[in-house]
Amino acid sequence: MSPSSPASRPRSGATRGGDWPRVRLHVVSGKGGTGKTTVAAAFALALASGGRRVLLMEVEGRQGIAQLFDTPPLPYEERLVAVAPDGGEVFALAVDPEAALLEYLEMFYNMRRAGSALRKLGAIDFATTIAPGVRDVLLTGKAIEAVKRGERAGKPAYDAIVMDAPPTGRIARFLNVSSEVAGLAKVGPIKSQSDSVMAVIRSPRTAVHLVTLLEEMPVQETLDGIQELHASRLPVGAVIVNMMRGPRLSPDGIAAALNGTLDFDEVKAGVEAAGLPRRLNPTTVSKVLMAEATEHAQRIELERVERARLDATDQPIYEMPEMSGGIDLGALYAMSRMLREQGAV
Amino acid sequence: MSGPQMLSPLPDGTPVLDIDALIDDPEVRVIVCCGSGGVGKTTTAASLGIRAAERGRRVCVMTIDPARRLAQSMGLTELDNTPRAVNDVDTSNGGSLDAMMLDMKRTFDEIVEAQSDPERAQQILDNPFYQALSSSFAGTQEYMAMEKLGQLRAAAEATDTWNLIIVDTPPSRSALDFLDAPKRLGSFLDGRLMKLLSAPARGAGKFGAKVMNAGMSMVTGTLTKLIGAQVLKDLQTFVASFDALFGGFRQRAEATYAQLQAPDTRFLVVAAPERDALREASYFVERLAGENMPLAGLILNRVQEVALPQLTTEAAVAAADHLDEAHEHELTAGMLRLHADRVLNGQRQRRLAQRFSAAHPHVPVAAAPALAGDVHDLDGLREVAAALAAQH
């Protein structure tokens, strides 16, 4: 499997470089059910390889990272969750907008007590839920804070930040915070906060990656998402095709299965030569194998059609195979290795 | 595939969900399909709709966000909140099928418009806070789906148009979001802050004036600092006019929620045979029991069918290796590896289903096989429903 990105792109292999050398903030989005959190975690592990420090953050309050790494629910605090194979550390943070707002009030206004009084009144809940854009400014603001932390001293706290972001359908609006709060604040701290967030998000230091499956609806959402991101002048990164089946038969075999021209006698001769247990009837086995091959070929053909639609976008594409054993830590490491091999880092 | 033995996707002893009995039952007038995002809720709702209609029910299906081609095949070209007849449905048993797509903002707008004169309604609709509430507040879509269900139910009773309403629910990350939405929206709109903010416009209300002023000045002081005085004024205007319209929104939300407990309503939990989706399904099943909401069963979508499980993963891989070493029968070797993967995947899914059923032994289950392609026409929907019903 080779990604469709330009052949001229240098393949970094084990060394650093890859497709996003300048990017510090990797935003990972995708339609629900496409494995966005898993891919974000694998991306973080890949970025951490070679002794780097990476922060993996989630913003939707569902503790997906904790479930993935099989740890207790994450507090609003950066915690080490995984170590990359050749050194390097992945820290994780579940950003809670209420906690972020209280932190913000304390940091800029020294209003800790007022903050807790406001919370009792429901004002914090209010500000983080309905005041247009405030919630998103807080969540993205936390990511930008992590990007900038230590930069001035020449020692950034993290080499990269990976955000497990809201789904594709909402990602452009989520990131486009300054236009979101435009109706709310023309001046004042929210405005300046959103401007400084926007400055980083629109810069080459950010890339928005979209996770998809090679199925009609997720691909359509991905294409729509790319268009929306472009329209909002947000930096589109890679498309990551997750849970790829990929052809398990030769191109000839796939074509024959698709056209209904598989040779029964040939398959059966193979079955007879394969040394299967005697209790299995070669004819039955051959029929089952052919039916399965046909279904597989139909699936591959669909993937091919959807893949062609993605290729037309000219974004780099990485492919993650379906993990037939399910997702565990081992699968995450395997996926992070594949991302490195395909030039993602 | 008929002939060779199949691995049952469900563990032995799992009660089977009888789909036809459910959709044929005249006592059942509402079916709500719930589950986490990406598990095929919309397809399930639509396929049950067409099967029920062709078996004689007069059905209305409300979908939330159908795939474009599926929507087109059902004649859903406009997102306009209006149920329309689906063509090419077999009505010879006396049934019919209407379908609609939910537009949450429009549903909210309509509620506002229905509650007030045009001028005041417009004032609310133009307010930036209302726009945020009606388009991006977490829970609005879920709540509006419930409101719409209430409207459809009322229309069905008044005009005797439909006798079965099937509802798809929004693609939230958690199935529980659907049930939590009314409380969330209700307590939010009836919260103390909303009361404080709306107070200047309507007098002291039941709060003491002193408490009000102290609380108010701190809140307004902080908010002014953060968002500016004009915005705060917009906010107060919104809160006051919204409050004047809806009085206790909480009561409205509670009533909307209560209709889900009606005796003619059944829930179907939809899941894919994946860990996360089944965990969500588990939470949801427990919650329904706690709320006295009747669960019809679990629909397990996209289950890998495994024919000939006697040809095990190990045996198939060994045989493929054997052929590869001999450098012959490359095609058969590839097919054997393909089979090995299928068996492995099927067994993993079966283990997950087993875990669910062990925790919920009385929940009936129906499994739908994974199809090679996406479903985007009526025949595809019929096929899905037939597979679900065939298990009984």
pLDDT at A189: 72
Q: Would you say A125 and A163 are in contact if contact means Cβ atoms under 8 Å apart?
A: no
Element (H, E) at B236: helix B229-246
Per DSSP (E only), the strands in chain A are: 25-30, 53-58, 79-83, 89-94, 160-164, 206-212, 236-244, 317-321
Residue A113 exposure: Cα atoms within 13 Å on the Cβ side: 1
pLDDT at A340: 94
β-bridge partners, B299: B270, B366
pLDDT at B189: 76
pLDDT at B185: 82
The residue of chain B nearest to residue A134, with distances taken between CA atoms, is B227
pLDDT at A3: 41
A291 with B307: Cβ contact below 8 A: yes
* A290 at interface of B, judged by CB pairs closer than 8 A: yes
- Tell me, what amino acid is at A277? P
For residues A48 and A337, give the distance between their C-alpha atoms in angstroms, rounded to a whole number.
Answer: 11
B193 with A250: Cβ contact below 8 A: no
For residues B276 and B108, give the distance between their C-alpha atoms in angstroms, rounded to a whole number.
Answer: 32
The shortest CB-CB distance from A292 to any of B68, B193, B339 is to B339
B323 with A67: Cβ contact below 8 A: no
For residues B228 and A189, give the distance between their C-alpha atoms in angstroms, rounded to a whole number.
Answer: 9
β-bridge partners, B98: B60, B85
For residue A285, which residues of chain B lie inside 8 Å, CB to CB? 308, 311
Q: How many beta carbons lie within 10 A of that of residue B83, not counting itself?
A: 22
Cα-based angle B199, B205, B210 (whole degrees, multiple of 5): 75
For residues A128 and A268, give the distance between their C-alpha atoms in angstroms, rounded to a whole number.
Answer: 65
Q: Give the tens place of pLDDT for each residue, B314-364.
A: 999 999 999 999 999 999 999 999 999 999 989 989 999 999 999 999 999
Q: Write down the residue that tokens 């589109």 correspond to.
A: A236
* A274 at interface of B, judged by CB pairs closer than 8 A: yes
β-bridge partners, A163: A27, A57
Q: Any idea where the domains of chain B sit in the sequence?
A: 12-178+256-307+357-389, 191-247
- B-contacting residues in A 54-83 (Cβ below 8 Å): 60, 62, 67
The shortest C-alpha distance from B263 to chain A (Å) reads 32
For residues A272 and A286, give the distance between their C-alpha atoms in angstroms, rounded to a whole number.
Answer: 9
Angle between the N-to-C axes of helices A251-259 and B330-359, in degrees from 0 to 180, rounded to the nearest 10:
70
CB burial string A104-124: b at 16+ within 10 A, e below: bbeeeeebeebbebbeebbbb
For residue B335, which residues of chain A lie inside 8 Å, CB to CB? 249, 253, 267, 270, 289-290, 292-293
B4 with A31: Cβ contact below 8 A: no
For residues A212 and A320, give the distance between their C-alpha atoms in angstroms, rounded to a whole number.
Answer: 10
B228 with A273: Cβ contact below 8 A: no
For chain A, list the domains and their CATH numbers. Answer: 25-247+315-341 (3.40.50.300)
Cα-based angle A167, A172, A177 (whole degrees, multiple of 5): 115
For residue A136, which residues of chain B lie inside 8 Å, CB to CB? none
The shortest CB-CB distance from A288 to any of B194, B231, B307 is to B307
Largest CA distance in chain B: 92
Residues whose CB falls within 8 Å of the CB of residue A296, separated by 6 or more in sequence, listed in order: A245, A248, A249, A254, A257, B338
Number of H helices, E strands in chain B: 16, 10
Picking from A37, A109, A126 by the largest number of B CB atoms within 10 A of its own CB, the best residue to mutate is A126
A289 with B335: Cβ contact below 8 A: yes
For residue B226, which residues of chain A lie inside 8 Å, CB to CB? 127, 188-190
- How would you write A111-151 as a 3-class SS string? CHHHHHHHHHHCHHHHHHHCCCCHHHHHHHHHHHHHHHCCC
Q: Write down the residue that tokens 């008929």 correspond to.
A: B2
For residue A280, which residues of chain B lie inside 8 Å, CB to CB? 308, 310-311
Cβ contacts from A onto B, under 8 A: 203
Q: What is the dihedral of CA B332, B338, B343, B347, to 10 degrees?
A: 170
Say if residue B340 is exposed, middle or buried (CB neighbours under 10 Å; 0-12, 13-18, 19+): buried
B345 with A269: Cβ contact below 8 A: no
A296 with B374: Cβ contact below 8 A: no
For residue A118, which residues of chain B lie inside 8 Å, CB to CB? 218-219, 222
The shortest CB-CB distance from A32 to any of B128, B171, B335 is to B171
Q: Give the tens place of pLDDT for each residue, B11-32.
A: 788 899 999 999 999 999 999 9
Q: Is B385 helix (H, G, I), strand (E, B) or coil?
A: helix
Closest CA to A28 of A341, A339, A342: A339
The residue of chain B nearest to residue A128, with distances taken between CA atoms, is B137
For residues B266 and B297, give the distance between their C-alpha atoms in angstroms, rounded to a whole number.
Answer: 9
The shortest CB-CB distance from A293 to any of B39, B329, B335 is to B335
Q: Write down the residue that tokens 């040779």 correspond to.
A: A263
pLDDT at B199: 61
For residues B353 and B368, give the distance between their C-alpha atoms in angstroms, rounded to a whole number.
Answer: 13
pLDDT at B3: 53
The residue of chain B nearest to residue A254, with distances taken between CA atoms, is B331
Both tokens of A123, joined, read: 């004002």
For residues B253 and B276, give the distance between their C-alpha atoms in angstroms, rounded to a whole number.
Answer: 29
pLDDT at B11: 77
Task: Quickly state the pLDDT bin for B213 (edges 50, 70, 90).
Answer: low
Residue A176 φ/ψ, nearest 5 degrees = -85, 60
Q: Give the tens place of pLDDT for each residue, B171-204.
A: 776 778 888 888 888 877 776 677 677 665 444 4
β-bridge partners, A319: A241
Element (H, E) at B6: strand B6-7
The shortest C-alpha distance from B162 to chain A (Å) reads 30
pLDDT at B226: 66
Both tokens of A76, joined, read: 């609003």
Picking from B226, B274, B308, B371 by the largest number of A CB atoms within 10 A of its own CB, the best residue to mutate is B226
Residue A60 exposure: Cα atoms within 13 Å on the Cβ side: 21
Q: Is A44 helix (H, G, I), strand (E, B) or coil?
A: helix
Q: What tens-digit pLDDT sequence spans chain A (345 residues)?
A: 344 443 333 333 334 568 999 999 999 999 888 999 999 999 999 999 989 999 999 998 888 899 899 899 998 999 999 999 788 999 999 998 888 888 887 777 766 677 777 777 777 777 777 666 788 888 999 999 999 999 999 999 999 999 999 989 889 989 998 777 766 666 667 778 888 899 999 999 999 999 999 988 899 999 999 999 999 999 999 999 999 888 889 999 999 999 999 999 999 999 999 999 999 999 999 999 999 999 999 989 999 999 999 999 999 999 999 886 678 889 999 999 999 999 999
Alpha helices in A28-96 (DSSP H): 36-48, 64-69
ipTM reported for the complex, 2 dp: 0.79
Q: How many beta carbons lie within 10 A of that of residue A196, not counting itself?
A: 15
β-bridge partners, A25: A161, A206
B348 with A324: Cβ contact below 8 A: yes
The shortest C-alpha distance from A276 to chain B (Å) reads 6
User: The domain B12-178+256-307+357-389: what is its CATH number?
Assistant: 3.40.50.300
Q: Would you say A96 and A119 are in contact if contact means Cβ atoms under 8 Å apart?
A: no
